Amino acid sequence: MGDEGNDDMLTVDFDRLGIGPGRSVLDIGCGAGRHAFEVYRRGADVVAFDQDAAELDGVAAMFAGMADAGEAPAEASARTMVGDALELPFPDDSFDCVIASEVLEHIVEDEKAMWELARVVKPGGTVAVTVPRWLPERVCWALSEAYHQVEGGHVRIYRANQLTDRLRTAGLRPLGKDYAHALHAPYWWLKCAVGVDREDHPLTKVYHRMLVWDMLRAPWLTRTAERLLNPLIGKSIVVYLDKPEATVA
């Protein structure tokens, strides 16, 4: 069913989140569905949530194709839902896991969104939040205003402690962090330098072909390079959290 489930496209560590059969997962701002597809493959029950109905049509089609091809266990379920991250249409304590990947940097009222995702995760449940990392993102902003000054674009750059402090205030407990997609950072620097809308520039075309080759083939050389570079220039930071169990007085 294509390459949407390629591990190199994924930002979060699904083993760390404990995602598997019998688990309920909400993917907030799922976009094209890359994380939701992996959740479904692992046998969990996933809700792919986004405000873009057209994007969700493609996600729903992919879910149906995966089911037809036997790429997900029969007992797993997958559905899409259109909505606003500031007003999640779910009761308190609804999901075993919540993923919010590359979403919060787009939301003006990000703290409200954090309270909402904390509200719908069950006590003892896990959460993964990813945003662009400060240094790679700051370089992009310095090189190009068009990179972020667009409708629906990035409205802020997070520092790691700022992100974790806000999530902690929302009632979540940070457990650790990681970095991802170091090889993608230079690509976006190039894009910003030559023009984010210039798809025909030879430098970005060559680099993009390398990224596609890496995602399809996952060669030892590039996988090792990215693993070593992630702590330095990883394009995304990933924060892993849980929701503490209520204490009995």
DSSP per-residue letters across 120-167: HEEEEEEEEEEEE-HHHHHHHHHH-STTTSSTT-------HHHHHHHH
Report helix, strand or coil for 75: coil
Is residue 120 included in any domain, yes or no? Answer: yes
* Model confidence pLDDT, tens digit, residues 113-135: 999 999 999 999 999 999 999 99
Q: Residue 59: give its domain's CATH number.
A: 3.40.50.150
Asked if the structure places residue 87 within a domain, the reply is yes
Task: Quote the pLDDT of residue 48.
Answer: 98
How confident is the model at residue 5, as a pLDDT? 39
pLDDT for residue 53 is more than 90: yes
Give the pLDDT score at 2. 36
What pLDDT is attached to residue 247?
58
Per-residue pLDDT, 8: 52
- Residue 165, in any domain of the structure: yes
Query: Average of pLDDT values for 234-244?
Result: 97
| Helices and strands, number each (H, E), in the chain | 9, 7
Domain count, the chain: 1
Domain annotation covers residue 22: yes
Distance CA 6, CA 61 (A): 18
The pLDDT of residue 29 is 97
The answer to the question of residue 43 being in a domain is yes
Does some domain include residue 205? no
- Asked if residue 68 belongs to a domain, the reply is yes
In the numeric block, which tokens belong to residue 187? 């690509």
The 10 Å Cβ neighbour count of residue 229 is 16
What is the residue range of 50's domain? 7-133+154-180+234-242
> Is residue 56 domain-resident?
yes
Neighbouring residues of 148: CB distance < 8 A, sequence distance ≥ 6: 140, 141, 154, 155
